Amino acid sequence: MAKAEMMRAMVLEKPGQRLKWLEVPTPRPGPEQVLIRVHTCGVCRTDLHVLDGELTRPKLPLIMGHEIVGTVVETGSRVRQFRAGERLGVPWLGRTCGACRYCRGGRENLCDAPGFTGYTLDGGYAEYAVADEGYSFALPPAYGDAEAAPLLCAGFIGFRSYRLAREAGPRLGIYGFGAAAHITAQIAVHQGKEVYAFTRRGDAQAQEFARRLGAVWAGSSEEPPPEELDAAIIFAPVGPLVPAALRATARGGVVVCGGIHMSDIPSFPYDILWGERVVRSVANLTRADGEEFLELAPRVPVKTEVQLFPLEQANEALEDLRRGRIQGAAVLVVSESR
């Protein structure tokens, strides 16, 4: 399909403001990049942190969005992996330096000089996007364009968090039952874990959703679970959940913080960390995480639940996410989808 010189995009001009529906130049791919006609783009909680200025170094003006599903329409001169007409997905990790000690040591998620899609690089809240081919993924054909989008961050980060928690034992708590949790819970249940889902107090709908996805228990994050947990993953950006999760976790257990931003963690007695409990964060993703997850997801099979919004309603999608009104994942629909 021929591309136009100009495209429509939802643009962040300044943190704290609403995104603006603007006409901007269509980006051109560099030698190792592909130009993608965007079909869908997931809306992630990280986008809210960028919008609110809690992540402090965005490119500005910025096109957010790091769960991009689209079709290649043009390839740079050195692109080998993808061809025009092929579908691919673009995640948060947009590029790495390849030279720092983290990159050389197989921990490119911690790279000294990374590029992040929809944060330091323009993302997918637009009709077109460019991406480095080496950081893009072929997507499992079983997923439609809308269903595939949440796999690219909620899925990847959820899976990385889960891998750090799963060795601790069979009882897994998940705090905050949004997009990442609804995918992670399905993988955990598939691998024989007992999932305990913690939601905002009184959120009967989210608790019902969690039970439907196989959680053995669902309740408020303020109440203790009926059994001690072996591990907990916190997806909600709420610091007081760290001591709450530690209190719910058995000796030797691990509490994994899966978000990129969290409100301050209140002080807590050493006693709830004692007993070789571990608190740790998860940062970004490696391409190996992405490949492993995309291989696993259709075999579970992970089913993503999506709420669709047209691109120009990105502000409404973000607001619904902020208010806890999204069940599963919010996805922007940009062009014809399948």
Point out which residues bind Zn ion (CB under 5 A).
44, 46, 96-97, 100, 103, 111, 153
CB of 154 to Zn ion, least distance (A): 7
CB of 327 to Zn ion, least distance (A): 18
Distance CA 250, CA 215 (A): 19
Distance CA 168, CA 182 (A): 20
Instruction: For Zn ion, give the closer residue by CB, 29 or 178.
Output: 178
Instruction: For Zn ion, give the closer residue by CB, 40 or 96.
Output: 96
CB of 3 to Zn ion, least distance (A): 27
Instruction: For Zn ion, give the closer residue by CB, 156 or 196.
Output: 156
- Bridge-based pairing of strands 87-90 and 68-75 is antiparallel
DSSP class of 87: E
Distance CA 197, CA 210 (A): 6
Looking at the chain, the number of H-run helices and the number of E-run strands are 9, 16
Q: How many residues are present in the chain?
A: 338
CB of 113 to Zn ion, least distance (A): 6
CB of 248 to Zn ion, least distance (A): 26
Give the helix, strand, coil percentages of the chain, each rounded to 5: 30, 30, 45
CB of 274 to Zn ion, least distance (A): 33
Instruction: For Zn ion, give the closer residue by CB, 178 or 243.
Output: 178
Distance CA 71, CA 87 (A): 4
Instruction: For Zn ion, give the closer residue by CB, 132 or 230.
Output: 132
Instruction: For Zn ion, give the closer residue by CB, 164 or 218.
Output: 164
What are the residue ranges of helices labelled H in the chain?
A: 45-51, 101-104, 145-148, 154-165, 179-190, 204-212, 241-248, 287-296, 314-322
